[in-house]
Copies of this chain bind each other. A is one copy, B any other.
Amino acid sequence: MRAVPGTPTVPTRDRILYAAAELLRRQGYAGTGLKQVASCSQAPFGSIYHFFPGGKEQLADEVLRTGGAFFLALYRQILAEAPSVRDGIAAFFAGAGETLRATDFQDACPIATVAGEVASTNDALRRATADVFESWLAELAGDLVTAGVAAADARPLAFALLAQLEGAFLLCRALRTTEPMDAAARAAASLIAEGGAR
């Protein structure tokens, strides 16, 4: 592809990855076709197989892992700007609700929809989602320990907070309200306080 001088061009591979990420998170794995990925990314169909020889599964695997890493980076950024871990997590829940509203309830968790679909149908992709969830959990549990939560309590509390977030994402998308996310945010704050975090 020839770029207009001075216009930075997004590489084809990245365009494919980005378009696939959007489609997968909204429509799921089985519901997203590679033809649709090609048209949305403005890439020729053959390029998908050029850059992802493993086909749909390889593409989805990379989408899940890079999407998971991106979401983790977002979390880290929000926490870095917050005065405390408690406030940071509260800000993260608030931001999730705002994003839902701003995107007409389309942009929620980048991997949840696919995770539900592949958990019992595709073990390679199931592992990808498990790796991502584990990476989030480890980060969150570490932050909770930093905030003063007892080491033995940090992992269960992190699981509860992550479950609260994921469940609220699903309910908000289904009901088209942020009421569940608001309730989840309050519950999360309560659980964190109960856990003894500063």
With A163-B171, A171-B133, A191-B190 known to touch, is A27 a contact of B120 (CB < 8 Å)?
yes
Count copies of this chain in the complex. Answer: 2
Convert A96-123 into 0s and 1s, putting 1 for each residue whose CB lies closer than 8 angstroms to a CB of B: 0000000001100000110111011100
Partner of A186, one of B28, B134, B160: B160
A170 at the interface (CB under 8 A from B): yes
Considering only residues 22-59 of chain A, those with a C-beta below 8 Å from chain B are 26-31
Q: How many residues of A contact B (CB 8 A)?
A: 49
Residues of B within 8 A of A183 (CB): 155-157, 159-160, 163
A182 and B156 within 8 A (CB): yes
With A187-B191, A191-B187 known to touch, is A119 a contact of B180 (CB < 8 Å)?
no
